[in-house]
Amino acid sequence: MEQRYVQQFKKGSLEMILLCLIGRGETYGYAILEELNRRSAVLGWAKEGTVYPILYRLQGAGLIQSRLAPSGANGGSKKYYSLTEKGRETLEELVQFWAAYSACVQGFVTAYREKEESQ
Amino acid sequence: MNEYIRQVERNLRLPRGKKREVLRDLREIFDSAREHGESEADVIDRLGPAAAYADTVSAPLGGKRRAGFVLPAAVLALAVALIAVFLAAQAGRPPENVIGQADAMTQIRVTGGVDLAPVFLTFGLLAAAVAAVLFALRIRRRKGDRE
């Protein structure tokens, strides 16, 4: 499969995937990675180097917020992410668009399949 | 792990607050991975080279890209041009009582009423010095990245 095209699909949808994931409930970095990796067969292995830049961008855009909570015995902390009001509104719009968009793309695929089968 | 974090820190071009945030997050990345039984080597392997990681997280935080060699090269070119003008002026200086030599340098000397050649030399040498400093700074930074 042409890796370049697949890469483009993933790139375009990862921000929405992260918003959905965080929208389900407060979560932190490693848990996000694990959740993504449960679908690694399709998504490929998630890396911090891919996820954190998106988290920074989403937070910079005011779509997610974070709070620090102490964790572990060594004085470390975990950063918990959640959606802001703006994030929830944006995600709602994105989800609606995604539904229309994927149906539209599927329409092209279906038409192509039907044409192929009739030949 | 500490060495890796130090290397990322050296490569971040961000305001202090954002830098602290990235480094704290990085510590959490290592801590969380350890809690889940991953080794530091696993994490470093996944994160990739420190300089590359610093670059990818800097972009969405509004960081500047690392300074390149364009500016020092431009200053060096300016230095060479200025010194070349000075040398040309020296070479083109007409002997006494000679008519002609109507090149650019002669005109500058006539209109200004003063000899401008030393000015070119001074600024040329100054630009060369600035270029040398800029090159040295950038080369030192690159070396630091590779340690």
The widest CA-to-CA distance across chain B, in whole angstroms, is 90
Tell me, what's the pLDDT at B144? Answer: 57
Tell me, what's the pLDDT at A50? Answer: 94
Interface of A with B in 6-65 (CB under 8 A): 28-30, 47-49, 52-54, 56-57, 60
Are B61 and B18 in contact by the 8 Å Cβ rule? The answer is yes
**Side chain identity at A61, as an amino acid letter?**
A
Q: What is the pLDDT of residues B69-116, one digit of tens each?
A: 788 888 889 989 988 888 888 777 666 666 665 555 555 555 555 678
CATH number at residue A36: 1.10.10.10
Domain residues for the domain of A44 are 3-118
Residue of B nearest to A46 (CA): B46
| Interface touch B47/A52, C-beta < 8 Å | no
Q: What is the pLDDT of residues A48-104, one digit of tens each?
A: 999 999 999 999 999 999 999 998 767 789 999 999 999 999 999 999 999 999 999
Query: How far is CA B69 from each of CA A19, A88, B7, B57, B139, rounded to the nearest angstrom?
Result: 39, 44, 21, 22, 9
Report the number of distinct structural domains present in chain A.
1
Q: How far is CA B92 from the centre of its chain?
A: 35
Beta strand A64-71 pairing with A76-83:
antiparallel
In 10 A of CB A58, how many CB atoms?
22
Task: Give me the interface pTM, i.e. the ipTM.
Answer: 0.88
